[in-house]
Amino acid sequence: APSLRNFSKLAMGKGGMVTDETEEREVTAGDQADINAFSRLNVNLHDLQDDLKEKKDILVNLQDASNEVMMILDDTQPVKMAVGEAYADVSQEEATERIDAMVEETEEAVALLESQVKGVQEKMRELKGRLSLKFGSNINLEEDD
């Protein structure tokens, strides 16, 4: 059996074999399917994380808007709310209700995205464990930052 020092010398050889001087490991179709699945999950994870950041930014903006509406001293003063690309005057009560509904909807979306991120990360850990078990440090499943 090769020592741990020999693993650093591994390279992809002919016919899809991971080789060093002392041991060959064939990259099977199942291994390649796992590598491809890991790659797809990694792309999916980044998309989910981008969506999650976007939703969290929206949530912060909505909470700021809610605070601004609450700070208006005159309860009879209408609030300008964006409706598409136009602004409409609405009562403070209606503005608060709409903002609260949007906050609730966005919080639900954040919770769903966080759940999806955890699910993808768990699948990636499983695949990484299986691939690392077979290929050790010869397979790089870490991201370059």
Q: Tokens representing 123?
A: 């699948």
User: Are 33 and 136 spatial neighbours (Cβ–Cβ below 8 Å)?
Assistant: no
DSSP string, 30-58: HHHHHHHHHHHHHHHHHHHHHHHHHHHHH
User: Are 59 and 107 spatial neighbours (Cβ–Cβ below 8 Å)?
Assistant: yes
Does the pTM exceed 0.75?
A: no
Q: Is the pLDDT of residue 16 over 80?
A: no
Backbone phi and psi for residue 144, each to the nearest 5 degrees, phi listed first? -90, 120
More confident residue, 145 or 15: 145
Share of the chain above pLDDT 70, in %: 82
What distance in Å separates the CA atoms of residue 72 and residue 96, rounded to the nearest whole number?
12
